[in-house]
């Protein structure tokens, strides 16, 4: 079983940057693909980015490609989301998720979830 805890959210002006972290418990963290999702006000949860268990392959939603970078450190049981050039439409609760199968793009396909961290981008 994997437990996930996000941190690093906050309030930032448009054009600014934030780095989200997701700390995982469990000795099997390195065998899980990881994803980041977000849910904005009045919106459905949407896929942001994902990374394979080794970190060798990443994937991004078109809306964040070129601005966000997902990475992981298996020695620290952590996955990160570096967010640059933030826009007001990036405002959402960001959650990390874990699953044993790579390339999952749907939230319901992920087995484990964190509680989320709020990111607010002001214009």
Which of 12, 19, 24 minimizes the C-alpha distance to 96? Answer: 24
- In this prediction, residue 102 carries a pLDDT of 86
pLDDT, tens digit only, all 123 positions of the chain? 899 999 999 999 999 999 999 999 987 888 999 999 999 999 999 999 999 999 899 999 999 999 999 999 999 999 999 999 999 999 999 999 999 988 888 999 999 999 999 999 999
82 strand-pairing partners: 19, 69
Which of 59, 52, 42, 94 minimizes the C-alpha distance to 74? Answer: 52
- In this prediction, residue 86 carries a pLDDT of 98
d(CA 21, CA 41): 22
> What's the start-to-end Cα distance of the chain, in Å?
40
- In this prediction, residue 103 carries a pLDDT of 82
69 strand-pairing partners: 82
- In this prediction, residue 28 carries a pLDDT of 87
């Amino acid at each position: 079983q994997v437990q996930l805890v996000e941190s690093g959210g906050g309030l930032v002006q448009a054009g600014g940057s934030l780095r989200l972290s997701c700390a995982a418990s469990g000795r099997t963290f390195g065998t899980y693909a990881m994803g980041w999702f977000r849910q904005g006000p009045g919106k459905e949860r949407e896929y942001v980015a994902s990374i394979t268990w080794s970190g060798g392959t990443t994937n991004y939603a078109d809306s964040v490609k070129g601005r966000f970078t997902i990475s992981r450190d298996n020695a620290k049981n952590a996955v990160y989301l570096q967010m640059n050039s933030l826009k007001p439409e990036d405002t959402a609760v960001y959650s990390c998720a874990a699953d044993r199968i790579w390339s999952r793009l749907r939230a319901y396909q992920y087995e484990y979830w964190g509680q989320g961290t709020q990111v607010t981008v002001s214009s």
